[in-house]
Structure 1
Amino acid sequence: MKKLLFPIIALLLLSSCERAPELKSSTLNFIEGKLDNYDGRMVFLERLDAQNVVLVDTVTIDEQGNFMCAPEIPEEGYYRLIVEETNFARLILEPGDSLVVNADVLALEPSYKISGSDESERLAWLSQFLLRYAATMDSIEQISRNAQITGDMQVLQSLYFTQMNLNAEAGKKMGNYIQEAPGALSSLVAAQRFNPAEDFAMYSLVEDAMKKERPNSPYLAALSRTLDKVRKTQVGSIPPNIVGSNPEGEQISLEDQRGKIILLDFWASWCKPCRAENPNVVEAYKKYKDKGFEIFSVSLDERKDAWLKAIAADQMTWLHVSDLGGWRSSAAALYSISSIPATFLLDKEGRIIDKNLRGEALHIRLEELLKDV
């Protein structure tokens, strides 16, 4: 799952937030509460934009930790109360909100409790759930490192399955969280923990709900721009063309292979799962190449010698291209590749009909497509 896509950069603006007189304004918000263990440090309210962080207000707090401020919030968005870069509490504010926030100033995010905003309450639950998840996974990682040092394979195997189960459980809870209110900004934050290329249906659920609930939201516009790119590589779509240099330096094109069943394969010589799958792909190629099956492999290597050595060692006697850009590969960017191996099975018209087939599943699908050839 992805990390939250909240940018963290330096303060851009300073302003004050004294105890405000009562004003009538549809965009004026009231945030009040108490910070336990207050020790005189500064607390700020910041807005989290797509590319930067903007300071909205400086919060005035009395000696007992009580505070109240009335920032002008012209439109809904993501905010945070922050003491320092690693100590903050996330909020979602809308014009006219009145919130009560109570927390320990020494550890805002693990402790904060909110009332007065459904969106902020949901976001607080999500933030604290993810903190607990991360802490658990970090503990397992530490035990795993110790087991690697001692060579305790039984412990390592047990920890691996524990991590897999925890990850699956967390993913299920996050999915349920999104389905409860798919059009909420808090659900958009949860969705960003997933890979849009692999969990496109979940992202689409959020996008469709936001179109109904907040059609003019800049967050919807940004989401749609991301999904428009990913949509091009979903099953049923004709994906972008790839033109690249083969090992001999000649330019070859994916579109030129139409008329055959094509396996578009993203891999690299240094990718152990890729290399482990290659014998299965070689077997499929030998079995079906004379029936109209071709493979178009795109390498994410950076060194040509390593790329060519792997092709020869694994007996990959099909089409290959690479710009030797590694993860900066133009083809990988075009297809939103974030992990490898990644494969796309294309029909004779160049349309994606399946993705990420491995092992026997690849053979079964090819047999279905080419059994009468």
Structure 2
Amino acid sequence: MLKKVTTSLLFAASLLSAKANTVTVNASIKELSAGKWVFYREQGGADKRDSVQSFKGGFKFQVNIEEGEGNEYLFSIGRNLDDRNSYIVLFLDKGTVNIKADSADFKDAKLSGSPSANDLQAYKTFLQSNEYIRKAPALYEKGNDLYKKGDTVALKEIEKQLNEIDSVRTVLNKEWIQKHPASPISAYVLARLKYALADSALEETYNSLKPTATNNVLAKNIRHGIEVNKLTGVGKPALDFTQADTAGKPVSLKDFRGKYVLLDFWASWCGPCRAENPNVVAAFNKYKDKNFTVLSVSLDQPTGKEKWMDAIHTDGLTWTHVSDLKFWSNAVAKEYAIESIPANFLLDPNGIIIGKDLRGDDLNNKLAEVLN
């Protein structure tokens, strides 16, 4: 009898634990009609994803999230991610998140519910209280129009204004984190701020956060990036790895010892990568007879081998290519803490890193320095 009672109590406890880890997202969107497909996808984590159809005036999701696995999720009405109002990025960890909006999208959406939801709304309100930040959406839209028209002169002026806004946003993000060291939303903010910080400043800011702010996927990724950056700085030996090439044959980085190697991270679906490929091709062709080669690691998706192969052929990338076709979960990309592409590392014949993120003229100039 005692055994049965104990088992029942454990079962009840497990149900309570499971319930505690179920995050509910309730959206009340006045003009949203029934039958619209709404999608969500975890960003940079376990890649959870699902979809539901809306009911008249909203939709509802339930997402199971374990303790310490809070992360950001992109929710979109349809798949038109070119429309900024069609999607919203939320931080989900526990409790209920309420989304309230009037139009049939996420324009002017307000968040409430869990402590994290309330903090995220407070952060958004804090940013929008700044007049420069409020100008950004209209400037981005104008910049896109000028880009399509090919008006590079006017586009440069827009880019200058957007850079100024980015500087203001950086200051505001630092201020938010400083005032909210215990909130997981500070990890959410730091994930956006880190690209504007030097390595030492990033580590200092991360160390200022309380445990309640760092017990989530975003903070763990930041911590991992800080640790990897210490291992992959200029002057450090490159981290060795083995991954399959296009024919399924294992290739190791150490196989290239004795040559200068550009370790290049890219993907067929990455527009900036494809735009940079001609520069890499030119560098390869110019220096391939001077003890230089390229080893490319693709972040293509599990169903993307054909697209990967087509891009290699189309772009004329006549060097060694490897991938495990696991998208952002690519094992080498994780080992090197790659969070944006294109990215690269230039190695000397001893496997020592002598350059990072060299593109365009910077790559050519560095190669000319060490190979001429």
TM-score normalised by structure 1 residue count: 0.56
CA-to-partner distance for each residue in 1:164-220, whole Å, 9 max, x for gaps?
331233224545777x8998879766533324697533221224556xxx7xx4656
Give secondary structure in 2 for the equivalent of 1:193. helix
Match of 1:333 in 2: 334
Equivalent residues in 2 for 1:127-142, closer than 5 Å: 128-132=125-129, 135-141=134-140
Give secondary structure in 1 for the equivalent of 2:243. strand
Gap change, CA 1:125 and 1:352, over 3 Å in 2? farther
Higher fraction of helix: 2
Task: State the one-letter code of the partner of 1:130.
Answer: L
Give secondary structure in 2 for the equivalent of 1:266. strand
Task: State the one-letter code of the partner of 1:330.
Answer: A
1:356 CA displacement: 0.8
In 2: Cα distance, 1:160 partner to 1:305 partner: 36
5+ unaligned residues in a row in structure 1: which ranges?
A: 1-6, 12-48, 54-77, 93-107, 110-119
Gap change, CA 1:150 and 1:323, over 3 Å in 2? closer
CA-to-partner distance for each residue in 1:197-250, whole Å, 9 max, x for gaps?
97533221224556xxx7xx4656875774245432431443433322212221
In 2: Cα distance, 1:257 partner to 1:197 partner: 33
Match of 1:9 in 2: 23
Gap change, CA 1:370 and 1:181, over 3 Å in 2? farther
Task: State the one-letter code of the partner of 1:307.
Answer: W
In 1: Cα distance, 2:139 partner to 2:215 partner: 38
Task: State the one-letter code of the partner of 1:299.
Answer: S
* Kept after mapping to 1: 8 A contact 2:182/2:212: no
* Kept after mapping to 2: 8 A contact 1:264/1:297: yes
In 2: Cα distance, 1:182 partner to 1:365 partner: 42
Match of 1:65 in 2: none
1:346 CA displacement: 2.0
In 1: Cα distance, 2:142 partner to 2:22 partner: 30
Task: State the one-letter code of the partner of 2:223.
Answer: L
Give secondary structure in 2 for the equivalent of 1:298. strand
Equivalent residues in 2 for 1:352-367, closer than 5 Å: 352-367=353-368
Equivalent residues in 2 for 1:135-174, closer than 5 Å: 135-141=134-140, 147=145, 159-174=158-173
* Kept after mapping to 2: 8 A contact 1:207/1:224: no
Give secondary structure in 1 for the equivalent of 2:289. helix
Match of 1:293 in 2: 292
Q: Look at both structures and tell me which one has the larger radius of gyration over its CA atoms.
A: 1
* Kept after mapping to 2: 8 A contact 1:9/1:52: no
* Kept after mapping to 2: 8 A contact 1:182/1:209: no
CA-to-partner distance for each residue in 1:71-109, whole Å, 9 max, x for gaps?
xxxxxxx999x98784459989xxxxxxxxxxxxxxx97
1:295 CA displacement: 0.9
In 1: Cα distance, 2:335 partner to 2:143 partner: 36
In 1: Cα distance, 2:141 partner to 2:99 partner: 27
* Kept after mapping to 1: 8 A contact 2:299/2:326: yes
Match of 1:276 in 2: 275
* Kept after mapping to 2: 8 A contact 1:296/1:320: yes
Match of 1:96 in 2: none
CA-to-partner distance for each residue in 1:230-281, whole Å, 9 max, x for gaps?
4324314434333222122211111221232221111122322222222221
Gap change, CA 1:316 and 1:52, over 3 Å in 2? closer
In 1: Cα distance, 2:70 partner to 2:369 partner: 51
TM-score normalised by structure 2 residue count: 0.56
In 2: Cα distance, 1:335 partner to 1:172 partner: 28
* Kept after mapping to 2: 8 A contact 1:269/1:275: yes
Equivalent residues in 2 for 1:253-264, closer than 5 Å: 253-264=252-263
Task: State the one-letter code of the partner of 1:200.
Answer: D
* Kept after mapping to 2: 8 A contact 1:232/1:239: no
Alignment coverage as a number of residue pairs: 271
Gap change, CA 1:300 and 1:150, over 3 Å in 2? closer
In 2: Cα distance, 1:232 partner to 1:264 partner: 16
Gap change, CA 1:230 and 1:151, over 3 Å in 2? same
Match of 1:351 in 2: 352
Give secondary structure in 2 for the equivalent of 1:276. helix
Task: Pick one of 228, 233, 236 that aligns with 1:235.
Answer: 233
Tell me the percent identity.
Answer: 30
In 1: Cα distance, 2:264 partner to 2:250 partner: 17
Give secondary structure in 2 for the equivalent of 1:9. strand
* Kept after mapping to 1: 8 A contact 2:294/2:320: yes
Match of 1:75 in 2: none
Give secondary structure in 2 for the equivalent of 1:337. coil
Gap change, CA 1:79 and 1:251, over 3 Å in 2? closer
